Structure 1
């Protein structure tokens, strides 16, 4: 388990073990790749970030992942893998599940909800995320630990 403070000075506990807490995730963060590029969205207030959001009533967490990726990027998920979960202890504590999704296609949309649509990034996302155009969400340690875990897994698959 990793314990740290986020950009808003909230305590965060990140676990790579399923069902670490008794609290069910009500939010998702989806780290996406499309044709070996990082797929992000442009949140109209926060800037560049991976897609994600809140689970709606009567929706499973997996349904939330597919809906959020489609709404914010037009992305069709080809494969999906659970990566981690984290608790944020702010004014209203919550748990968020993190997934890694490979996207098979991007369908253009007229409306990307609260975002300005998809952005593909080629390169070292771990360095690029510090740019002012990126959301505060991209700058906290959840991204560092989860992207590093995904990259390690992808490297292992290539060697295997």
Structure 2
């Protein structure tokens, strides 16, 4: 387990074990690749980030992950795998979030990408995301880099 403070100084604990904090988390984050590039979305307020969001009533976290990828990027998920889970102990609430890794087969153009501006492809993620104003706060703590390390170790060799 890894414990650290996020962008807003909340206590975060990340684990790559099987659902260590909640069997039914209400939030998801999906690290996506499409044709060898990272697939992000541009949130209208927060900036560049991987797709993610809330689990809706009646759906599993994995179903929510597939739905959010499509809604925010137009991406059609080829394969999706659970990577880990983290808990954010915020000032107002505690949030449990699953992290997934997905490969995308194609991108469909959509009339709306909901609260985002659609897909953004990047060959590499910059080393300075913590200070890059183009990136969302979601990309500025240890979740994304540690999850990518886990993906590299357990799923693929980048």
CA deviations on 1:80-137 (whole Å, 9 max, x unpaired) are 11101000000210100000000000000010000000000012x1515342101011
State the 4+ residue runs in structure 1 displaced beyond 3 angstroms: none
> Residue in 2 aligned with 1:9?
9
- Ranges in structure 1 where 5+ consecutive residues have no aligned partner: none
Query: Structure 2 vs 1, CA of residues 22 and 66 (structure 1 numbering), >3 Å: closer, same or farther?
Result: closer
- 8 Å CA contact 1:78, 1:102 repeated in 2: yes
- 8 Å CA contact 2:21, 2:85 repeated in 1: no
Q: Does 1:20 align with 2:20?
A: yes
2: CA distance between counterparts of 1:15 and 1:132? 28
> Residue in 1 aligned with 2:76?
76
Q: For this pair of structures, how many residues does the alignment match?
A: 155
CA deviations on 1:32-90 (whole Å, 9 max, x unpaired) are 00000000000000000000000111111111011100000000000111101000000
Q: If the length of structure 2 is used for normalisation, what is the TM-score?
A: 0.93
> Residue in 2 aligned with 1:32?
32
Instruction: Name the structure where helix makes up a greater proportion of residues.
Output: 1
Q: If the length of structure 1 is used for normalisation, what is the TM-score?
A: 0.92
Query: Structure 2 vs 1, CA of residues 101 and 74 (structure 1 numbering), >3 Å: closer, same or farther?
Result: same
> Residue in 1 aligned with 2:42?
42
Query: Structure 2 vs 1, CA of residues 41 and 31 (structure 1 numbering), >3 Å: closer, same or farther?
Result: same
1: CA distance between counterparts of 2:145 and 2:34? 20
